[in-house]
Amino acid sequence: MQEKCGVVGIQLSEGDAALPTYYALYALQHRGQEGAGIVTHDGFQQHSKKGLGLVSEVFDEDDVGHLHGLASVGHLRYPTAGEINENSCHPYTVTSKRGSLALAHNGTLVNTDEVRADFEERGHTFSTDSDTEVMVHELASNLVEHGLLEAIDKTMRRIRGAYSLTLMHDDRVVGVRDPLGIRPLCIGKIEDGYIIASESVAVDVLGGELVRDVRPGEVVMLDDDGEGFESYQLFDERPAHCFFEYVYFARPDSTIDERLVYDARREMGRLLYENHGVDTDIVSPVPDSGRAFASGYAEAGGLEYSEALMKNRYVGRTFIMPTQEARETAVRLKLNTMDSNIEGKSVTLVDDSIVRGTTSSQLVKLLRDSGASEVHFRVGSPPIVAPCYLGIDMASRDELMASDKSVEEIRDEIGADSLEYLTPDDIADSLDMPRSEMCTGCVTGSYPVEIEGESCERAETERGEKAGAD
Ligand code: SF4
């Protein structure tokens, strides 16, 4: 699973915004590793540098030094919609007689084809198949007749899906969070200015202070003197926060919608023990993603927390893997066992989620080969039964292990002695968030926005309520 993107917007009262933007992107690198970009505005014109690769690969000191201006937006890309090439790296820029625009987007729109078709009918052409390019053109065309706030409002009423945005109109930096608040976005106070970013770790890295989350349906305009911001609440709908941000995507040291992600994961681990605890000799995480869950689980049961697997930090994202045996070696390349911690012991292995299930079965086998007497698997999320259309690169339905298998069939296939998951209600309890305010599309098959061919109970209920009222 991969997060689609990370976004940053910075407005300063003095100095250049590019360097703090670069550091903020570094702090958010986990949200996208395929490309990065920064666009600044010096009051007269934009300066831009984008490219494929990690932040450290895209920018050198010279690049950052040449990006002048008090205002900037930055982006990290992991493309779930659209091809991978330098052209498709954000921020997207457009210049017209109504000024210059730069737009960075985290999320995925679900009605891109419809909006694109409208433009194409009017003779418009697009240089990529990206939903963000469609969005930036919608915004630019609304700017022809309207001021910035009204143009954003009209754009938000035209597009549907998940979008946390940082955008720059000339040298004005703006943050926008979709009406359901699916992906996170926050505001921070930094030295000489303000920042809007996907996660609070981007504020921390600059020695700043988190002010608050951008609310679902809110537009935040940073003052061009870097002294403050104005807020406009354009929508007031029931939110549908992506719970997987807490389970997996966000950094554990980030605070999202007033919850520290690490604490949320520990609480999920605690609930896993409370509802499905098994008293084994040791509790081990699948590193690194299972750590906070396993520590909450072990503490709740008064059990020994001991790492049975160690991650090789120097394995890259891809390596040559021509045969099935090589795939098994690949798991060992990434994770090795610590046999003396395992031999003759019963082990509970805790992970955040099971997607395709291939790694889970290999890990159970590794532990058994290392002498574990029992291997119990506990998962800090519900079974994933459906794909994500809202900004996460997950897998298609037929690749998802739980889409057509029961928990018992999965247990049998991964070879564990027992297997238990959290339920969506457990997740809501551990986040202290009403379940009705969470997106649970990938674990229930019912999405918070209407998507062709998929169920949307929320829309059906609202239609029913409206018909009842009429
Ligand atoms: S479908 Fe799943 S991963 Fe996608 S936004 Fe909803 S909860 Fe998050």
In a domain, residue 253? The reply is no
Is residue 291 within 8 Å of residue 309, measured between CB atoms?
no
Q: Which two tokens stand for residue 290?
A: 């299972």
Q: Which two tokens stand for residue 104?
A: 């960075």
- Return the DSSP state at 214: P
Whether residues 199 and 271 share a domain: the answer is no
Residue of 439, 447, 457 best suited for mutating to test ligand 1, as the one with most atoms within 8 Å of CB: 439
Residue 19 Cα, ligand 1 centroid: separation in angstroms? Answer: 32
Whether residues 421 and 441 share a domain: the answer is no
Whether residues 24 and 93 share a domain: the answer is yes
Q: Does position 285 have pLDDT exceeding 70, yes or no?
A: yes
In a domain, residue 415? The reply is yes
Q: Which atom of ligand 1 lies closest to the CA of 243?
A: 7
Residue 241 Cα, ligand 1 centroid: separation in angstroms? Answer: 8
Whether residues 141 and 223 share a domain: the answer is yes
Whether residues 465 and 359 share a domain: the answer is no
In a domain, residue 453? The reply is yes
Split at pLDDT 50, 70, 90, the class of 79 is low
Q: Does position 38 have pLDDT exceeding 90, yes or no?
A: yes
Position 387 scores a pLDDT of 94
CATH of the domain at 303: 3.40.50.2020
Whether residues 324 and 219 share a domain: the answer is no
- How much is the pTM? 0.93
Look up the domain containing 455 and give its range. 430-469
Whether residues 168 and 114 share a domain: the answer is yes
Residue 64 Cα, ligand 1 centroid: separation in angstroms? Answer: 35
Q: Which atom of ligand 1 lies closest to the CA of 183?
A: 5
Query: How close are the terminal C-alpha atoms of the chain, in Å?
Result: 44
CA angle at 90 for the pair 89 and 92, rounded to the nearest 5°: 115
User: What helix, strand, coil percent values describe the chain, rounded to 5?
Assistant: 35, 25, 40
Q: Determine which residue's CA is closest to atom 8 belonging to ligand 1.
A: 242
Whether residues 49 and 156 share a domain: the answer is yes
C-alpha–C-alpha distance, residues 260 and 126, integer Å: 40
In a domain, residue 251? The reply is no
Whether residues 403 and 442 share a domain: the answer is no
Burial 11-29 (b: 16+ CB within 10 A, else e): bbeeebbbbbbbbbbbbbe
Q: What residues are labeled active site?
A: 5
What is the total count of domains within the chain? Answer: 3
Residue 318, Cβ neighbours under 10 Å: how many? 7
Position 324 scores a pLDDT of 56
Residue 398 Cα, ligand 1 centroid: separation in angstroms? Answer: 17
Helix ranges (DSSP H) in 148-288: 148-158, 201-204, 244, 261-276
Split at pLDDT 50, 70, 90, the class of 325 is low
CATH of the domain at 110: 3.60.20.10
Q: Determine which residue's CA is closest to atom 2 belonging to ligand 1.
A: 442
- Return the DSSP state at 448: S
Whether residues 231 and 300 share a domain: the answer is no
220-224, 323-327, 363-367: the lowest-pLDDT one: 323-327
Pocket of ligand 1 (CB under 6 A): 182, 242-244, 388, 390, 392, 439-442
Position 231 scores a pLDDT of 98
C-alpha–C-alpha distance, residues 273 and 300, integer Å: 6
Amino acid (1-letter code) at residue 375? V
Split at pLDDT 50, 70, 90, the class of 392 is confident
Whether residues 420 and 441 share a domain: the answer is no
Whether residues 271 and 397 share a domain: the answer is yes
